[in-house]
Amino acid sequence: MLGEITFQYPTWYYLLCLALGAGYAFALYYRDKKFYEVSGRRTVLSLLSFLRFAVVSIAAFLLLAPLLKSRFTDEEKPVVVLVHDNSSSILTNWSSEDSTTYRQSLDELRRELGSKYDLDTYVFGSEMIEGDTLDFSEKATDISAVMERLYNLYTNRNVGAVILATDGIFNKGSHPMYARLRLQAPIFTIGLGDTVQRRDLRISRTYFSKIVYLNDRFNVQLDIQATNAGGERTVMSVYKVENDGSTRKLQEKAISISDNSFLLRESLVLDATQAGPQRYRITLSPLSNEVTLQNNTVDIFIDVLDSRKKVLILANSPHPDISAIRQGLEKNRNYEVTIGFARDFSQPVTAFNLVILHQLPSLQYPMTPVLKSIRDGGVASLFVLGKQSSIPMFNQSQQVIEIRGHANNVNEVQATFEQTFSLFTTPGDFAATFQKFPPLIAPFGEYHVRGQSSVLFRQKIGAVTTNYPLVLLDQSAGKRTGLISGEGIWRWRLYDFLQNGSHDRFDDLMSRLVQFLSLKEDKRRFRVVLPKHIFNETEQISLDAEFYNESYELINDPDARLVITDQDGREFPYQFNKSGRAYHLDAGRFAVGNYSFRAETGFDGKLHTFEGQFSVSPLQLEALQTTADHRLLYNLSAQTGGAFLTADRIGSLADHVLNSDDIKPVIRESEQTRAFINLRWIFFILLALLSIEWFIRKWLGSY
């Protein structure tokens, strides 16, 4: 609609526009003699003069940039939001007749509300999505996420009411009553499901470590609950599910249900005898007249790793340092520590990922065969020097550092952190912590680093910080070598506990050193990486792949393919997408079970392959609780000014909403300011005036 005009210049400026138009028309037509012979000459000149006067005046008027301020009013209908629970728990107590009747009533509710309001419909489980298709297939329920999403979608909208249809059972997110109910709208709730506690036997919770190591024994705890089943008996069976889907019984135990509100925490001990994702099934034999049997069985998936690093501490003689190193490493389950002494050691060192040589080689034990095996086998080593070390033999046993000094002479040295160290990250208080630790006993002499080694700590002798390394790491010559050039690190561990109340700082240092030294570089040119090896059935399976040329440069020129095989032998072929210089694949969701995969790519006439496996575990949250929670829905409606109705009264819900005095349209008024020169109709007026003038002149033969 047309509003008021705002001028940016004094009014007399606009009078000048009229004068300019009149002057231009007068100058153009006053002495024009082309129309002397035309009948009605004065009328024609007057019309032409007016047209030119109007065009020039309007153009000058627009150059002064007047503004047009317009006001608009708009009526916004109320929005009613219908959100329906689409989780599988809804069907627990529903017969097919109940479902048909309810769906008909729900369709009628949509028609009645949609005739008067803007009706938006959503379904939800773990997430809320737009639509009204109900298949009750969602594996989790998050009501608090619905509240948050509604607020984000409908802030500053005229929301008249929210209708929430659910059984009140939630198993994801925070408690709905504690969620931020920031959307200022009444919530009408429809209570689905059955609030009567029916007979049910279930495994309600399981507790276990998802990652264990090969040949370990691991513990699984589970809560067994029973409702209205006092005096009954059940049998708990534990199975190992093989990769082909067959089962092998591991354990069996009879359980007596003592009362109608039964709860028992059972503990199982299982053996990890096979590497990779492993599947175990725990079942309870069913009782008569149970409301559901889905929660009588639970599958758990364990990722069994065969990657524990084997560390050998080989010592010249017993020493407190050995115990300190062992205790620092055994806190980390990634390490398996073995202690040996030079006098009777006979194991092959190539069976270990890292050998820590404490004061070896020595004059008494040169350990020549062991050092040769370490060197030839590319085994990582960490030398700890001390009074018993033979420095000449040490110099000959490695190519990292040479110490030139006098035998049996030692220094007390403290640690000073080297700021340029970058082989692994260190905590912020790392430098300040270790420079306060007690001194170590280091061999006296000049230290000459032979290669491009990285120094973690340098030696501080008295008040002088030297360039001599105290802790050094090297990764040249195809193997990793480390050096602690002093004995007595057991004092560091004790001092750490004295100052900080724990051994965490010392243990973290040892763990970082061993982790770096024992790391095996992957030389495979084609690799596939999964974010994890166990997915739940609602997650997308994604894989990344990398391919390196002979110079170990990352490329993705060749195409890469992948075949996933399920436990029944069915194959699912895919092709990787190229992403940057690597590959990526979103394979989608898979059914519960164990899967293997084989990826391959060809380059320069050679086939490069990579094989692996993963598992998909069931998400059984919806079967854990079978009794609807209508009290939650009642409180939610009461808190927001809505109303609670059971599913059989859904027909009266439309009356509650339609008769509500608070659900009204909103009149919104807006204001818009525009420059006159931007109005299209002004252009067409000028064009029309100039066209009429041109046509008249043309008609009269002027042009």
Tell me the pLDDT tens digit for each residue of 151-205: 889 988 889 999 999 999 888 888 888 765 677 889 999 999 888 888 999 998 8
pLDDT band for 301, please (50, 70, 90 cuts).
confident
Average pLDDT, the chain: 88
The pLDDT of residue 656 is above 80: yes
Q: Which two tokens stand for residue 498?
A: 């004295």
Q: Is 181 helix (H, G, I), strand (E, B) or coil?
A: coil
Write down the pLDDT at residue 193. Answer: 86
Instruction: Name all domains of the chain by residue range, CATH numbers in brackets.
Output: 4-72+673-699 (no CATH), 78-193+627-658 (3.40.50.410), 200-305 (2.60.40.10), 309-518 (3.40.50.880), 526-617 (2.60.40.1220)
pTM over 0.85: no
251-292 pLDDT per residue, tens:
999 999 999 999 999 999 999 888 888 889 999 999 998 888
Higher pLDDT, 622 or 633: 633
Q: Which residues contact 551 (CB under 8 A, 6 or more apart)?
A: none
Asked whether 415 and 469 are in contact (CB, 8 A), the reply is no
Q: Is 470 helix (H, G, I), strand (E, B) or coil?
A: strand
Any idea of the CA torsion for 679, 680, 684, 687, to the nearest 10 degrees? 80
511-562 pLDDT per residue, tens:
999 989 988 776 788 999 888 888 988 889 999 999 998 888 899 999 999 9
Share of the chain above pLDDT 70, in %: 96
Work out the average pLDDT over 112-134.
92
The pLDDT of residue 450 is above 80: yes
Asked whether 594 and 567 are in contact (CB, 8 A), the reply is yes
**Count of alpha carbons within 13 Å of 104, Cβ hemisphere only?**
7
Write down the pLDDT at residue 39. Answer: 62
Asked whether 477 and 313 are in contact (CB, 8 A), the reply is no
Within the chain, what is the greatest distance between any pair of CA atoms?
Answer: 138
Write down the pLDDT at residue 520. Answer: 76
